[in-house]
Structure 1
Amino acid sequence: MKHIQNIFFITIGAFIYSFGLNYFTIANHLSEGGFTGIALLLKYVFGFSPSVVILLLNIPLFILGWKKLGHQFMIYTIVGTTLVSFFLWLTESFRQPLDDILLASLYAGVSIGLGLGIIFRYGGSTGGVDIIARLVYKYFGFSMGRTMFIFDFVIISLSAVYIGVQKAMYTLIAVFVAARVIDFAQEGAYAAKAAMIISDHAQEITTKIMKEMDRGATVLKGRGGYTGNDKEVLYCVISRNELSRLKQIVQSIDPKAFVVVSDVHDVLGEGFEKA
């Protein structure tokens, strides 16, 4: 059942990604990074179909990845890449250039980022540089992010020779927006706050949080770096609109408490909705 759900959402993500690529990126003569960027460059120069090129470029990596990266990851990768190629072919007629190239690059980033984010969130991949980066990391220890950045930089730079510097710069806007949307789609729209409270009255604060806010808390053992004295560190996850109330509770019991608040994404567990 889990695999069916994953493939269902990977299919949705592949459609959104392919539609955005055709309707906003290709229609407005923008580029992309990775194997998609190679496919677009070959389309602009020679007229090759991106749907066919992407699939052909990935076949050798499917074979290599199947042997080196594990079967489950590669099954989802093959499914995701094949669906992207299929939907790219299916939505070719949807290409419609926009008058505003900046608007086109923003929409391209949002749609491509959303599609990829959904695919990644459910264990899928679109192959290409993702597989190369994983193999480079596994055998040479080179970070995946750095490998993907170098590859994308080279492809977009080459594309600039053909599509022009201006459109290459708009492509960078699309890539930047896509990266932010991918993070959003993977982490979930729901965001909470995590508070770490260092106080000599941690137990009193914990009791009041549980009683008045109906939130759980965890007391961790710590030690002051300067004094060397044992300290209790209270860790609590709350929704954003509860932060003000939490501060009031802490201040009412220990005005000298040290409080650190940070963002938390995709919170799962009792008291929080499943993102």
Structure 2
Amino acid sequence: MEEQAALNNEVKPKIGQNRTTSFYVKKYAMIFVGAVIAAFGLEEFLIPNNVIDGGIVGVSIMMETITGMSMGVFLVLLNIPFLFMGYKQIGKNFAIATLVAICFLAVWSEIFDPLEKVTDDPFLAAIFGGIIDGIGVGMIIRAGGSLDGTEIVAIIMDKKSVFSVGEVVMFINLFILSSAGLLYGWDKAMYSLVAYFVISKMIDVVIKGLDESYAVMIVTNEHEEITSALNDRLGRGVTLLHGAGGYTGESKEVLYCVVTRLEVDKLKEIVLDKDENAFVTINAVHDIVGGRFKKKSIH
């Protein structure tokens, strides 16, 4: 028995170590691939047509135009103070992942720079370059990194001001895109705004996925019937939470489950069919880890 216990103690750390190694391999492989994709979108579509992205990437593109130096140099240099801020305010893992992503992007930008651009049409460049760049940036963000120091500023300001992260990022990028108008002309600034919009939407698609999921909370007195119907007709597991009315003190049962976008209407139909007085809240879910959440047939 003592030998078996010693063997178990030796095996457990190895299992944990393997999991940790596997996690970081996947994480930085995704960052690497994301940086390659983002660099291709920038160098083969956006930059040759004087269409820029927002944030530090956009500033770096403009600095390359003004000085003739490589965008990658400015990308690294301009992000250094923001990396320090991110390390102090957000965490070491985020700062390291961001530094790695920036270095990968800088290197691959140099590799793609000599290649001939894909299109001379700035509108096509804004659309397709935005799609490709957005996919790459979205992969990096999903892996826990970033390419843009302005996002770090926005996160910090969100904690210390009344402005949200999105509002701060939008304000900074409007200033950057306006500067692009002075440098490249206002038509290119408008194309850049189109590209920025496409990039932001593609980032959302990569982070959230095409088939969004929703967390649903149902306050009802018919919890048994609704639970049974959701299990039977949607194939969804339901978690039962015990609660009480804040005003009346009456006991209430709260059901919690996660469904796909296509199942939301069916869920509402099931719930209201069983209890027309049920109170239902539905919130988008950005990610799901663990559990047995899979697509089921609806009937």
User: TM-score under structure 2 normalisation?
Assistant: 0.78
> Is 1:223 matched up with 2:237?
no
* Residue of structure 2 aligned with 1:93, choices 114, 139, 149: 114
SS of the residue 2:28 aligns to: helix
> Is 1:162 matched up with 2:183?
yes
In structure 2, the residue matched to 1:121 is: 142
* Residue of structure 2 aligned with 1:173, choices 194, 197, 216: 194
Deviations 1:19-68 (A, max 9, x none): 10111111211122222222211222332221222122233444555455
In structure 2, the residue matched to 1:204 is: 225
Distance, in Å, in 2 between the alignment partners of 1:81 and 1:18 is 10
In structure 2, the residue matched to 1:49 is: 70
Asked if the contact 1:78/1:127 (under 8 Å) is kept, the reply is: no
In structure 2, the residue matched to 1:39 is: 60
> Is 1:73 matched up with 2:94?
yes
- Which consecutive residues of structure 2, in runs of 5 or more, have no partner in the other structure? 1-20
**Within 5 A, what are the aligned runs for 1:180-195?**
180-195=201-216
Higher relative CO (CA 8 A, sep ≥ 6), structure 1 or 2? 1
* Residue of structure 2 aligned with 1:271, choices 292, 295, 298: 292
Distance, in Å, in 2 between the alignment partners of 1:60 and 1:212 is 54
SS of the residue 1:27 aligns to: helix
In structure 1, the residue matched to 2:50 is: 29
Asked if the contact 1:222/1:233 (under 8 Å) is kept, the reply is: no
> Is 1:151 matched up with 2:172?
yes
Distance, in Å, in 1 between the alignment partners of 2:175 and 2:166 is 14
The AA in structure 2 aligned to 1:266 is D
Q: Which stretch of the first structure deviates more once superposed, 14-23 or 38-47?
A: 38-47
Q: Which stretch of the first structure deviates more once superposed, 249-258 or 36-45?
A: 249-258
Distance, in Å, in 1 between the alignment partners of 2:161 and 2:284 is 33
The AA in structure 2 aligned to 1:74 is A
Q: Structure 1 pair 247/136, CA: closer, same or farther in 2 (3 Å)? A: closer
> Is 1:235 matched up with 2:256?
yes
**Within 5 A, what are the aligned runs for 1:123-142?**
123-136=144-157
1:246, distance to aligned residue in structure 2 (A): 3.7
Asked if the contact 2:83/2:149 (under 8 Å) is kept, the reply is: no
Asked if the contact 1:27/1:97 (under 8 Å) is kept, the reply is: no
Deviations 1:235-271 (A, max 9, x none): 2223445446545543553345444445434333333
Asked if the contact 1:24/1:104 (under 8 Å) is kept, the reply is: yes
Q: Which stretch of the first structure deviates more once superposed, 115-124 or 247-256?
A: 247-256
Asked if the contact 2:51/2:122 (under 8 Å) is kept, the reply is: no
SS of the residue 2:114 aligns to: helix
Q: Structure 1 pair 71/269, CA: closer, same or farther in 2 (3 Å)? A: closer
Q: How many aligned residue pairs are there? A: 273
Asked if the contact 2:35/2:101 (under 8 Å) is kept, the reply is: yes
In structure 2, the residue matched to 1:20 is: 41
Distance, in Å, in 1 between the alignment partners of 2:244 and 2:157 is 39
User: TM-score under structure 1 normalisation?
Assistant: 0.84
